[in-house]
Structure 1
Amino acid sequence: MTDDPGDIHGEIFDAAIIGGGVIGCALARRFTLDGARVVLIEKAADVLDGASKANSAILHTGFDAPPGSLEAACIAAGYQEYMAIRDRLNLSLLRTGALVVAWTEAEAVILPDLIAQARRNGVDDVMALTEAEARRLEPELGPGVRAAFRVPREYVIDPWSAPHAYLRQAIENGARLLCRAEVTGGRFDGATWRLETGRGAVRAGLVINAAGLHGDRIDVMLTGTQHFTIRPRKGQFVVYDKPAAALTRHVLLPVPTAVTKGVVVCRTAFGNLLVGPTAEEQDDREHAMLVPETLKALIRRGTEILPALADHDVTAIYAGLRPATEFKDYQIRLDADRRYVTVGGIRSTGLSSALGTARHVHDLCAGLGFGATPLADPVWPRMPMLAEDEIRDWRYPGNGGVVCHCERVTRREIEAALTGPIAAGSLAGLKRRTRVTMGRCQGFYCTQELAAITAGRLDMPMTGGDT
């Protein structure tokens, strides 16, 4: 099993990465491909169990990032690398483009400045649109559109297969994964770190804190210092049934504010239509509670943007937390003397920036002297394809039959996700790897069969009534 401690406790790794979110997975990949011996430490039973489990799945160009910011640089580099490697890893891409829509005169006045900002960020193919031009591109837009501009290279991707691919490539090239291993302490002796975890000690020459919603607490625990404070920001989402996806061709973006990118309407890689997120400050770092009144407001806003949504069914609702801080930019800091890096404040753009952020962190650490040689011929695994508009496993013979009919998930896909180099450790992890139970019936028809398939293989056993 990939996260079996085995000889982990007897080895000194070049780098120990704390946190198995999209940033941690990308870091593991980058350092491994560049020849380092890496261990990724995650406190949950599976990776992507924190902030990375819930997002809008947009591959951003960074057109609206603060010019000259670290965030803007990491998004640009991450976008470029994703586009360069996605075919080799069999990752999806829905070439939607985006429209930034002004619904008031006050918002319309801001659009020229946003276009200028996009061009300063190197996104120079944006195009200003009149109301009539916007409606020709998106006939279902509601009343009140004042103006818009198009960002052709804003795309939609599978938000989970990408980080799973980064981690799988790391592991198939020698990295190790240790789940259920919350970091409880650590000490640096001047040359090597000894991290105490729930599954024993881990030793490494470099520690990278990518703990997301708990990044500031890890800093205090391990170094006694704190340079930022996590301020959890909740985002709630509404997912419409697949026929609603025909209502829009683009990602529909609002004019952003100083606090949030605002409520987005877009198709998903899985064939649905998404409305969200909200932006709600809270103290709780663990729980993102759904609020019925807020969800109703999201539905109302979605219907204002696309009135025809009123005729479509909502099939799912969910919420996630983003690790915001008191600072607008990413908080990435190297303590060379203690061989320690903090990667914090990676908010809603983490999916887009992950590969660029990983490369930035690796470059920061270049002077620490790993003595590693980049892999000459690394393994390039190919991920299972989950995107609705691509050819899925149910079309191929010998798949064992379809278990989840709403999402057309086969027994072969489920079995593969329960084994292999990054086997699912939880039902949530299995959902993220296969889409099982995430369709219209939310597992009503397939849970009993799924419980039988997964018996004895997940951290918490399923029952016939689980969804």
Structure 2
Amino acid sequence: MHLVHTSPEADVAIIGAGVVGCAMARRFALEGATVVVLEAATDILSGASKANSAILHTGFDAPTGSLELACMQAAYAEYMDIRAAMNLPVLETGAMVAAWSDEEEARLPTLLAQAQENGVTDTRLLGRAEVLAREPALAAHVRGALLVPREYVIDPWSAPLAYATQAQMLGARFLFNAALKGARRDGATWVLDTAAGEVKATTVVNCAGLYGDHVETMFTGKPSFEIRPRKGQFVVYDKAASEHLRTILLPVPNDRTKGVVLTRTIFGNLLVGPTAEEQEARDRPDVTRPELDMLMDKAVELVPALRDMPVTAVYAGLRPATERKEYRVHADADLGYYCAGGIRSTGLTAALGIASHVFALWGRAHQAVRGAVNAPPQPVMPNLAEHLPRDYQTPGHDGIVCHCEMVTAREIRAALDSPLPPGDFGGLRRRTRCAMGRCQGFNCLARVATLSEGKLRADILPEGDA
């Protein structure tokens, strides 16, 4: 009896459309591979990727010589190289690792030495007077800081949307509501059983985030890592709060967490967070009052002017931590299985570098079908950054729908009619900022619902997108 092997419909199937999955799809498509992306939810960025601090990191405090550092720095360079063509905003804030005690101040020289060893050579130590001259609203008991000039703030959602859109323009297919139910090997082809039907591919890349270990079990029989979800809660202060801080304020880190950060957002608010809470549930990023109170107390302790500042929103996200701190990136070329697991808080920065690294691993065993794409198409993202010109400032926008965030009807229609439109209200909010301001949709949600009627895969407003 002769076995009849099925022909793959894609060179690569990517499991998960978070920021790493979107970057992965872009990299493989740019290199000429045929790509299909399988996402269990109704839109991209629906899991861990939708909640982060939106900082573009230099890697100054990453483990020296680590894959994480290499991916972060490669991705940082690539992001800065493509951002103009794709209209991806950058808020050049710089960052200070601030010391508030003798013990923390004594650790700053060690952090400086690590930064220098990591190639971030423009870092330097600041005395108390220099810190307060740069940030006069800080509490007077600050002792000093490490200045990291090239830590910036970016739009956490337009960047991965740009990666995914470019991948789609290059022929990648995105399948939503396509949870992976099983996988089997047929010769040199993976046959994937998904909620959206059967998909065949020569190679699979596991970018499943919080479910990365479950997905790996389907392909290898036993996972090489265990996801241990870590919740991070955030508080978003009103836009008026941003006048009190222009530099990202980082704590002196410890072995477990980078700690609580205060930073402006690209959208004009001030953000404080995250917490670092271990939990078992992978789908419940709940906010809790004691932790939110702790964040606000910490913010006021460091920047007293925030004491009476109103809060616009709170949200929480889950990070796919594992039993080890480092990235869990590995490959089995003979099996056609590649994994980018355990990508935690630096994933937004490192995604482009992780994608290039995994493609390099794949390229050792394969040759792209068509070769790298020359002069690839460049998607141009709509700008939502507060410090740059916005759509409402240009005539013909058909009215402002969301007055808190100054979102126009033209912007909402453009998102709904885009090459990779939102699948739910959460996706529409992330693409436009509608219903994300002071009133959290109280005044605009009816109009938004009318504009989006019949155009979304799910009419459910998710929690935690602030």
For 1:410, the equivalent position in structure 2 comes to 408
User: Deviation at 1:11?
Assistant: 5.7
Partners of 1:222 and 1:89 in 2: CA distance: 35
**Where does 1:1-400 land on structure 2 (aligned, <5 Å)?**
12-372=9-369, 373-400=371-398
Q: Please, which of 408, 428, 431 is the counterpart of residue 430 of structure 1?
A: 428
Match of 2:286, SS state, is: coil
Letter in 1 for 2:420: I
Letter in 2 for 1:416: A
Indicate if the aligned counterparts of 2:60 and 2:114 stay in contact, CA closer than 8 A: yes
Unaligned runs of 5+ in 1: 1-8
User: Deviation at 1:452?
Assistant: 1.1
Q: TM-score, normalised by structure 1?
A: 0.96
> Over residues 117-175 of structure 1, what are the superposed CA-to-partner deviations in whole Å (9 max), with x where a residue is unaligned?
11111101101011111111110111321221100000000000000000000001111
Match of 1:449, SS state, is: helix
User: Deviation at 1:368?
Assistant: 2.1
Match of 2:307, SS state, is: helix
Change over 3 Å in CA distance of 1:241–1:196 after alignment to 2? same
Partners of 1:270 and 1:297 in 2: CA distance: 24
User: Deviation at 1:10?
Assistant: 8.3
Of stretches 232-241 and 9-18 in structure 1, the one that deviates more from structure 2 is 9-18
User: Deviation at 1:14?
Assistant: 0.6
Indicate if the aligned counterparts of 1:455 and 1:462 stay in contact, CA closer than 8 A: no
Partners of 1:462 and 1:212 in 2: CA distance: 22
Indicate the percent of aligned positions where both proteins have the same amino acid: 55
Indicate if the aligned counterparts of 2:331 and 2:361 stay in contact, CA closer than 8 A: yes
For 1:440, the equivalent position in structure 2 comes to 438
Change over 3 Å in CA distance of 1:176–1:388 after alignment to 2? same
Match of 1:311, SS state, is: coil
For 1:401, the equivalent position in structure 2 comes to 399
Letter in 2 for 1:400: D
Q: TM-score, normalised by structure 2?
A: 0.96
Match of 2:458, SS state, is: coil
Indicate if the aligned counterparts of 1:187 and 1:193 stay in contact, CA closer than 8 A: yes
Indicate if the aligned counterparts of 1:184 and 1:196 stay in contact, CA closer than 8 A: yes
> Over residues 408-461 of structure 1, what are the superposed CA-to-partner deviations in whole Å (9 max), with x where a residue is unaligned?
111111111112211100000000000000001111110111111111222333
Partners of 1:87 and 1:261 in 2: CA distance: 30
Match of 2:419, SS state, is: coil
Match of 2:364, SS state, is: helix
Letter in 2 for 1:419: D
Indicate if the aligned counterparts of 1:190 and 1:338 stay in contact, CA closer than 8 A: no
Root-mean-square deviation over aligned CA pairs: 1.3
Partners of 2:326 and 2:117 in 1: CA distance: 17
Partners of 1:78 and 1:97 in 2: CA distance: 18
Match of 1:186, SS state, is: strand
Partners of 1:55 and 1:185 in 2: CA distance: 30
Partners of 2:417 and 2:180 in 1: CA distance: 26
Unaligned runs of 5+ in 2: 1-5
> Over residues 377-426 of structure 1, what are the superposed CA-to-partner deviations in whole Å (9 max), with x where a residue is unaligned?
21001001010011111111221111001111111111111122111000
Partners of 2:37 and 2:110 in 1: CA distance: 42
Indicate if the aligned counterparts of 2:7 and 2:189 stay in contact, CA closer than 8 A: no
Partners of 2:368 and 2:37 in 1: CA distance: 20
Partners of 2:386 and 2:442 in 1: CA distance: 21
Partners of 2:304 and 2:43 in 1: CA distance: 39
Partners of 1:402 and 1:430 in 2: CA distance: 16
Partners of 2:299 and 2:262 in 1: CA distance: 7
Partners of 1:232 and 1:140 in 2: CA distance: 35
Partners of 2:198 and 2:210 in 1: CA distance: 23
User: Deviation at 1:370?
Assistant: 3.1
Indicate if the aligned counterparts of 2:138 and 2:304 stay in contact, CA closer than 8 A: yes
Letter in 1 for 2:155: D
Indicate if the aligned counterparts of 2:126 and 2:147 stay in contact, CA closer than 8 A: yes
For 2:3, the equivalent position in structure 1 comes to none
Partners of 1:31 and 1:449 in 2: CA distance: 39
How many aligned residue pairs are there? 456
